[in-house]
Structure 1
Amino acid sequence: MSQKIDRRTYLRGMGGAGVATTAGLMGTLQQDGGPDMLTIIGYPQSGIQLFRDLYATGQSLDVLVPDGLQSSTLPQEVGNDMQNVTGTAPAAAGPNQEAFNQLFQDQYNQPPGVFTSQSYDSVAILILANAAAGENSGSAIRDQMRRIANPGGQEFGPQNFVEGVRAAVNGDDINYQGASSTTNFDQNGDPAAASYDVWKFAPQTEDGVRTVNTRRFESNAGGPSADSAPGGTGRTIRVGILLPETGDLGSVGTPMIQASRLPIQQVNQSDLDLQVETQVEDTQTDRQASLSGANALINAGYPAISGPASSGNNIPVASEVYIPNEIVGCSPSSTAITVSRLQDNDYVFRTAPSDLLQGQVMAQVAAERLGAQSASTLFVNNDYGQQLSEQFSQAFQQDHDGQVNNQVAFNIGESSYTSVINQALGG
């Protein structure tokens, strides 16, 4: 009999109250009437204090987190090995994942991290679409996005990216196959294929996490696309980068920026009669800084921008800057469901999948891997946190007959999270 079945049977017999969870690492008892497990949705910087406060309660229960909290340094900063934590994250599972991994390792002498493959793919696609468009025009680039990414034409990836750009400027039909996925776009500008890793913190490994297993999803590619490409050489392609170097996502954003620079370097170091110019603006994981950075890039003449990273920043930037100014935005890590529903005139894309899928994956992990029958959520108070909390809760209840005790919001940058933790853990 599997571990998960043992634990579910035991919980039924004990009513779920006063029972130590699978992790059992702190040797204390679960709060009477509280949930079997806690789902925490947030970002690394706030996560440090939040997890310190959680462990200070002495609660011994499983914790489930999404990609926003996948930081290899988090256990060290929290002061706990965090082995009661299980995570889910969009996976780097594209057909050319290994080629990207080698590029990143060779350039930076370290393994790529979460959302680095999506960052490479985002910038690579924007370069290809610009090369095919033959001009630094947002509307022209928009019309080429699916033409160079979706099925049909010769396949190219990170390992032969320069040849893909050469084909794009020649007006050839190409199909970019990425590191993160096949990078085919659907009607909403979302990836039509996606994979999710289930992971654990592993401080003894080089990248600080280990993958437990991977789940894959497929949907239909489609949407408006140009019929042909003007192309042309002897010009400069302009691609902006709007990602966090500081703030709550600074530790995640830095390697994302490193990955974003790789396709630019590949073109600039080639013999193509093209140059790629870029400018990096720090979102600071802050709404106003993101808007200011986006406007700075537009004022500098960038027609296409990779970023922002978080949905809390991507949605206002898309609504207030990209769409009204006819700028193509392609986020490598904004996963909120709202992004798919924007009235964007097809200017907003992303290489990270929607949380509509991640909520399902998290609910399955909670029920089947962790054996939980009840759960509470603690979520960062923005679109990303609210919507993923709702999607997890809905899937956990409808698909797995789970009970959701509480959904509790928290704000970034608080000095203590004890109060919201107690609300979430209350019966």
Structure 2
Amino acid sequence: MARDIVRRDFIKRVGAAGAIGASGLAGCIGSPDGGGGGGDDGGEMTETDSGGGDDGGEMTETDSGGGAEGPDGLVVIGYPESGIQLFRDYYSASDGNEEILVSDGLRDPAMPGQVGNDMANVTGTAPAAGGPSQEAFNELFQEEYDASPGVFTAQSYDSVAIQLLANAAAGENDGTAIRDQMRNVANPGGMEVTPDNLIAGIEAAANGEDVNYQGASSVTNFNEAGDPASAAYNIWEFNADDGSVENVEKQSFEGANPEGAGPSADSIPGGTDREMSVGILLPETGGLASVGGPMIQAAQLPAMQVNDANPAGLSVNAQLEDTQTSPSAGTAAAESLVSAGVPSVCGSASSGVNVPVSQQVFIPNEIVGCSPSSTALSVTNLDDNDYIFRTAPSDLLQGRVMAQVMANRLGADTVSVLHVNNDYGQQLAGRFVETFEGEVYHQVAFNKGASSYSSVISTALSPPDS
């Protein structure tokens, strides 16, 4: 059975009393390789939406073309909260002949039952745990918590493991020094480190030796922007018979520099016999609590390993703060971590929180932030002085993956794109449109929480000139 991690002395809550709530530690979202979940827990996580109106959306862009019929396929980027009603309206308006491709935010095994359709014409994509240490991490998580890992848990473990290796290599709890070691410990060169030999890797880094972390989510080589240089994605389908989501294929993709790139320190000073500090800034409560709980559990594992072994006389003070799935609460929580002297942080989970936290707290205070699940393109484009990293792939890759799946696997030549009206939806939809080799009839934005999406569906299913 899982040990009671809440009562371990090294987990110290900053600015709040009490143990981690049961809701924050309960549950497992998805499969061991990074699949599915319920609620707003898949893929890019965001809290804010723009726009209004009760009709569900508006057409934001039309790419005109020939033909008098509707598209071969639809792309839907959103969350179950709105997706349930949207798909009810779709199946009321269509016989279901269109191929539909959805983003990871709609990976909810309960959706077919809630929609009232087996959704057999729906395929999805989602970031997967596809690193060389995936199996080792799965076994570690299962042994500790008596549960299977969930979505973005491998990325959470990798985020903290890399930060602790960088801290050991830096020899001090200093954000700038840790920043300069992040690529040294993650990118190629030196002793290969995995969850199985993390303790030996920490000791080697503390002794000034080169190490190369091989992650559970990917090989975790950072590019110039601090993003993973490669990533894996699951292609999945709903199984209405048993109320599950099935991964049917995994595809790996590499960026322009798969071995990573970017600045790093010229030397590894190391240092022994001290306490390392790391922050965990993830949602225990709010709309993402169900996925945040397993992510927090995974993020705590590297600190547990170090504190159980004390390599090179090192220990870890892992300090946890709850974003409450809110930009304002997340910013306040990040400020608490800064006040406590934390030099680097695993978090935050969503781009809706991660971007303001990075801009207002991490970057000006020279704190390293390494998000395990914030995927929006806007994170890549931050003016961050190289303090912001992530172990989750950018939507720059996911948009390309979706375009390839729609064209090559589903065989659609013409599509319409429906997306939730926020940064995540707009940016991922835009990337899909840029890379899809077929014809895009309509690009339609919709708002969360509308009572009907009939007008959105009607526009998406219409011929290009209508």
TM over 0.5: yes
CA deviation profile, 1:325-353 (whole Å, cap 9, x unmatched): 11111111222222222211000111112
Question: Are 1:254 and 2:293 counterparts?
Answer: yes
Q: Which has the higher contact order (CA 8 A, sep 6+)?
A: 2
Residue of structure 2 equivalent to 1:333: 373
Whether the aligned pair in 1 keeps the contact of 2:110 and 2:243 (CA below 8 Å) is no
> 2 CA distance for matches of 1:239 and 1:48?
39
1:310-321 paired onto structure 2 within 5 Å:
310-321=350-361
SS in 1 for 2:276: strand
AA of the residue aligned to 1:65: V
Question: How many Å apart are 1:254 and its aligned residue?
Answer: 2.6
Whether the aligned pair in 1 keeps the contact of 2:107 and 2:245 (CA below 8 Å) is no
CA deviation profile, 1:349-389 (whole Å, cap 9, x unmatched): 11112222211111111112112122222222222211110
Question: Are 1:98 and 2:135 counterparts?
Answer: yes
Whether the aligned pair in 2 keeps the contact of 1:312 and 1:382 (CA below 8 Å) is no
Farther off after superposition, 385-394 or 62-71: 62-71
Candidates 423, 429, 447, aligned match of 1:411: 447
Whether the aligned pair in 1 keeps the contact of 2:220 and 2:391 (CA below 8 Å) is yes
Whether the aligned pair in 2 keeps the contact of 1:201 and 1:210 (CA below 8 Å) is no
Question: Are 1:387 and 2:424 counterparts?
Answer: no
Identity across the alignment (%): 61
Residue of structure 1 equivalent to 2:284: 245
Residue of structure 2 equivalent to 1:24: none
TM-score (normalizing by structure 1): 0.84
Residue of structure 2 equivalent to 1:39: 75
TM-score (normalizing by structure 2): 0.78
Whether the aligned pair in 2 keeps the contact of 1:379 and 1:385 (CA below 8 Å) is yes
Whether the aligned pair in 2 keeps the contact of 1:203 and 1:209 (CA below 8 Å) is no
Question: How many Å apart are 1:291 and its aligned residue?
Answer: 2.0
Candidates 210, 223, 231, aligned match of 2:270: 231
Residue of structure 1 equivalent to 2:16: none
Candidates 161, 165, 169, aligned match of 1:128: 165
Whether the aligned pair in 1 keeps the contact of 2:351 and 2:374 (CA below 8 Å) is yes
Whether the aligned pair in 2 keeps the contact of 1:46 and 1:248 (CA below 8 Å) is no
Residue of structure 2 equivalent to 1:148: 185
Question: How many Å apart are 1:173 and its aligned residue?
Answer: 0.7
> 2 CA distance for matches of 1:86 and 1:208?
10
1:209-224 paired onto structure 2 within 5 Å:
209-220=246-257, 221-224=260-263
Whether the aligned pair in 1 keeps the contact of 2:376 and 2:427 (CA below 8 Å) is yes
AA of the residue aligned to 2:196: Q
Alpha-carbon spacing, 1:414–1:274, altered in 2? closer, same or farther (3 Å): farther
AA of the residue aligned to 1:238: S
Candidates 321, 341, 365, aligned match of 1:301: 341
Residue of structure 1 equivalent to 2:409: 369
SS in 1 for 2:417: strand
AA of the residue aligned to 2:77: I
AA of the residue aligned to 2:322: D
Residue of structure 2 equivalent to 1:82: 119
AA of the residue aligned to 2:271: G
Residue of structure 1 equivalent to 2:363: 323
CA deviation profile, 1:230-258 (whole Å, cap 9, x unmatched): 32233222221222334443333332222
Whether the aligned pair in 1 keeps the contact of 2:141 and 2:149 (CA below 8 Å) is yes
Question: Are 1:348 and 2:388 counterparts?
Answer: yes
> 1 CA distance for matches of 2:439 and 2:288?
31
Alpha-carbon spacing, 1:308–1:207, altered in 2? closer, same or farther (3 Å): farther
> 1 CA distance for matches of 2:119 and 2:329?
32
SS in 1 for 2:309: coil
Give the gaps of 5 or more residues in structure 2.
1-67
CA deviation profile, 1:254-312 (whole Å, cap 9, x unmatched): 32222212112111222432222223333343322322222232223222111222223
> 1 CA distance for matches of 2:369 and 2:376?
15
> 2 CA distance for matches of 1:212 and 1:141?
37
Alpha-carbon spacing, 1:315–1:175, altered in 2? closer, same or farther (3 Å): same
AA of the residue aligned to 2:276: I
SS in 2 for 1:210: strand
Residue of structure 1 equivalent to 2:38: none
> 2 CA distance for matches of 1:312 and 1:296?
19
RMSD of aligned alpha carbons? 2.4
Residue of structure 2 equivalent to 1:178: 215
Whether the aligned pair in 2 keeps the contact of 1:67 and 1:114 (CA below 8 Å) is no
AA of the residue aligned to 2:379: V
> 2 CA distance for matches of 1:170 and 1:85?
52
CA deviation profile, 1:169-189 (whole Å, cap 9, x unmatched): 111110111011111111111
> 1 CA distance for matches of 2:280 and 2:447?
27
